[in-house]
Structure 1
C-alpha cells in the first residue's frame, strides 16, 4: 500500500520557485530544494522527476503569477504614458524593496539558461513575447489617442519597452537607490 503524500505539490512548486528565483538554476542543489520543501530527496524525485522538471514547473508558476501581472498592469485604463511610467516605476520599486534583490526570474533564467536549456529558453521567450505584445498594443492605443506620434513603429517601441524592463530588472539588482532607474524610466517615456 502506497503512503499518502506528505506535502502539497502545488505549494511545493511555489516554494521551489522561490529557491530558484533567489539562487538560480545552477546554484540550487537538490538539498536546497528538499530543505525548502520539507521533503526527502526520494519524495522530490518521485513527485517531480528531476530538478530540471521542477525548475520548468517553477518557471510556469512564475509566468502565471508574476509575468501575467505585468500584462494586466499595462492593460489598466488611463493615459498611455502615465500607465507606462506607473508600470516601470512599480517594477523598479518592487525590485529595490526586495531584500534578496532577486530581480525577474524570467530575466535571470534567460541570462543563466539561454543557449543551454531549450525548454527554459522557449518558455522565457514566450513570456517576453507576451510582454512585448502588450507594450505594442499599448503603443498603438497611445497612437490612436494622440499621445504617441502615429509615424512611430509600434513593434519597435514595444521592443524598446521590453528591453527597458529587462534592463531595469538587472540594474535594480545592483542599484544603491532609485536614481539611475528613475532616469532610465523618464528617458524611455520621454522618447515615446
Structure 2
C-alpha cells in the first residue's frame, strides 16, 4: 500500500494553472513548476507525469473550474440578452483585473501553437467549441424569450460574439486598453444582439464593474 500524498492535487493544479497561464507552455520549465507548486520534481512526475501530462491535467482543470464559472453567467439573467450582457461584463472585469494571467489559457495555448499532441489539441478544441455552443444557445434563448430581435440569426450572432471574445483574449496578452475593450464589447453587442423592443433593453450595461 503506497503512502498517502502530503499535498492536495487541486491546490497543485491551481498553482500550475496560474503559472502556465502567465508564462505559457513553452515558457514554463520543470524548475518553474517545482518553485510554483512547492513539490520536488520526483513528486510531480509521480503524481502527474511529465510536463506535457501535467499541462493536459491543467487544461482539464481550467475547463472544469475556470471556464465553467465563466459560462455560468450565460445560464443566469432574467433573459438571454441579460445573460450575454452579464457574461461580457465578467469577461471585461476579469481581463482588467488579471493582467498577470492575461487572456484565456485555451486561446493562449492555441496561439502559442504548442498543442501538437492529439489529446492536448482535443482539450483546447473542446473548450473553444463549448464556449461557442453556449453563446449560440444563449442568443437563441434571447430570441425565444423576446429580449433579442427575432430578425437575428442565433448561429451567426453567436459566431460573431465568439470572434469578439477571441479578439479580447488575444489583445489581453499585449495589455488592454479599458476604453478600447469596452467600446468593442458594446459595439458588437448592439450590432449582433439588438433588443427586441425598448422595454427589453437591459437596465444594466457593460461598464467593467457592474451589470
- Give the SS at the match of 1:137: helix
1:14 alignment partner in structure 2: 14
User: Structure 2 vs 1, CA of residues 54 and 171 (structure 1 numbering), >3 Å: closer, same or farther?
Assistant: same
**What pairs up with 1:14-53 in 2 under 5 angstroms?**
14-53=14-53
**1:124 and 2:124 aligned:** yes
User: Structure 2 vs 1, CA of residues 99 and 91 (structure 1 numbering), >3 Å: closer, same or farther?
Assistant: same
1:115 deviates by 5.8
**What pairs up with 1:150-169 in 2 under 5 angstroms?**
150-169=150-169
**What pairs up with 1:58-77 in 2 under 5 angstroms?**
58-77=58-77
Instruction: Report the Cα distance in structure 1 between the residues aligned to 2:108 and 2:133, rounded to whole angstroms.
Output: 21
Instruction: Report the Cα distance in structure 2 between the residues aligned to 1:170 and 1:54, rounded to whole angstroms.
Output: 24
2:89 alignment partner in structure 1: 89
2:203 alignment partner in structure 1: none
2:139 alignment partner in structure 1: 139
User: Structure 2 vs 1, CA of residues 149 and 109 (structure 1 numbering), >3 Å: closer, same or farther?
Assistant: same
Instruction: Report the Cα distance in structure 1 between the residues aligned to 2:88 and 2:146, rounded to whole angstroms.
Output: 21
CA displacement, residues 143-180 of structure 1 (integer Å, 9 cap, x when unaligned):
12333333432122211112211111222333453111
1:3 deviates by 5.3
1:103 alignment partner in structure 2: 103
1:113 alignment partner in structure 2: 113
Instruction: Report the Cα distance in structure 1 between the residues aligned to 2:78 and 2:39, rounded to whole angstroms.
Output: 47
**Structure 1 unaligned regions, length at least 5:** none
Instruction: Report the Cα distance in structure 2 between the residues aligned to 1:64 and 1:160, rounded to whole angstroms.
Output: 25
1:34 deviates by 0.8
Superposition TM-score, scaled by structure 2 size: 0.82
Superposition TM-score, scaled by structure 1 size: 0.90
More moved, 84-93 vs 20-29: 84-93
CA contact (8 A) 1:22 1:102 kept: yes
**Structure 2 unaligned regions, length at least 5:** 193-211
1:103 deviates by 1.6
- Give the SS at the match of 2:132: helix
Give the CA RMSD over aligned residues.
Answer: 2.0
1:75 deviates by 0.8
